[in-house]
A = this chain, B = another copy of it.
Amino acid sequence: MIGNFNGKHILHGNQFTKEDLGQVMKAAGVFEGGLKNGQTYDLMRGRILATLFFEPSTRTRLSFESAMLRLGGGVISVASGATSSAAKGESIGDTARTVSQYADVIVMRHPQIGSAAEAAATATVPVINAGDGAGQHPTQALLDIYTMQKEVGTLDGIRVALLGDLKNGRTVHALVELMALFKVELILVSPPQLQMPAEIVDGLKKKGLSVHQTDDLMQAAAAADVLYVTRIQKERFSDAADYEKLKGSYVIDNHLLEQAKKDLVILHPLPRVDEIAVEVDAHPGAAYFRQTLNGVYVRMALLALVLGRTGEVI
């Protein structure tokens, strides 16, 4: 991308240079500061965001809509595929081009990999990918980076343990691509059958990253500065007994945290089910709800950048 976001689509984690990231982080920081000081924004007055969620997602949709409203803009929304023209057999391209007539920017989630790029090909306004099946979810990765930088102070030289289903998780795949831009040391913690795909690990190593793979959470937690937890889904196991056996070994609780660094930062893209015990919420390093709030700042930054509306504040 390099520099000028105005009019651009946000489709994939690998489209960002380190400078691009810096620009997003800076803008997000300005909006965070502003909102915390009680500032209200009028940057998007008269502008409209369309959220098209062909797959439901409370969290991501509300986060983007909140960001647009905080900027002073308006929102139109399709909250589920069932209420859409897609049911009538319309192509993604036609939907995107049509909705471009109603809105100034489109945020889309769709179960099909590559769907966001397909929408971007015909849309006449910027498209932001909010998850395309097993593909990408770049804004989640950006808010994770923002959160690590804020919680730890830097990304360079820190040790990040990624825990959970590293084989199927689009969130962690996009995240490691962005972390590869920094001198992060990675610890990949997963049961053997859910390891990060070898080609991704090889790619990270080629970029000069230090990557360790293990199935021992205790050891990883003891060494890490940041512990990024994701869910292990029962559906991934052919044998339910295997799942039940594993499940217990990957739960974050106060007992585990006794082994960890005092200032360990714990992240989770949410929603959680039981992979982080509720008792952990009181831990000063439990940053997952702050992470959610950071998502609003980062999405304000992205919306403002792709519509060229940051000039006045940044």
Highest count of chain B CB atoms <10 Å: which of A53, A82, A100, A101: A101
What 0/1 pattern do residues 270 to 281 of A give for CB contact below 8 A with B? Answer: 111100001000
Complex contact B85–A83 (CB within 8 A): no
Contact of A237 with B by CB under 8 A: no
Q: Which of A46-81 contact B (CB under 8 A)?
A: 46, 48, 50, 53, 56-59, 62-63, 65-66, 69-70, 72, 74-76, 78-80
Given the complex, which residues of B lie within 8 Å of A48, measured CB to CB?
66, 69-70
Instruction: Give me the interface of A with B, judged by CB distance under 8 Å.
Output: 39-41, 45-46, 48, 50, 53, 56-59, 62-63, 65-66, 69-70, 72, 74-76, 78-80, 82-90, 93-95, 97-103, 270-273, 278, 289, 292-293, 295-296
Contact status of A85 and B59, CB under 8 A, knowing A94-B272, A98-B292: yes
User: Could you tell me the distance in whole angstroms from the C-beta of A49 to the nearest C-beta in chain B?
Assistant: 10
**Bound Cα distance A293, B100 (Å):** 9
Given the complex, which residues of B lie within 8 Å of A273, measured CB to CB?
88-90
